[in-house]
Amino acid sequence: MYNRPLSPHITIYAVQISSLASVWHRISGIFLTSFIVFCIIWVQLVVYSNYTRSLFNFNLLNTFWLFFYEILLIIFLLGLFYHTFNGLKQIIWDLGIFLNQKFLFLFFLIVSFFICVIILLLIF
């Protein structure tokens, strides 16, 4: 056939900050929901299993948490605070306030800074 792209608009598409923020908002919501479901399942395993089995599960998960606790905590807090601040931005936009491009970029920088500061304060 012809050696040309099927969709030429895809090759020249420039990602907008608002669409990127919307995609990351959805991804963080999915991540937070799956994390909560995982925690509920883990609690159910510990509560409704017999003592030996729950002790094994607890020791197994303690080994897992020993290595990945800090990383999971950072990722969870990043997702939580990003989802919260981006939700506040959406509420502000629904009120019709700050609907310009300059505020969007400034808000993106402020949110990124506050997320990093809050996570560093909570870790250390």
Q: Is 83 annotated as a binding residue?
A: yes
How far apart are the C-alpha atoms of 67 and 65, rounded to whole Å?
Answer: 5
CA dihedral sign, ordered 115, 118, 119, 120: positive
Q: What number of residues does the chain have? A: 124
Q: How far apart are CA 62 and CA 56, in angstroms?
A: 10
Instruction: Report d(CA 109, CA 58) in Å as an integer.
Output: 40
What is the distance between the alpha carbons of residues 46 and 124, in angstroms, rounded to a whole number?
A: 30
Please give the biggest Cα pair distance in the chain: 67
Residues making up the annotated binding site for heme are: 83
* Binding-site annotation: residue ranges: 83
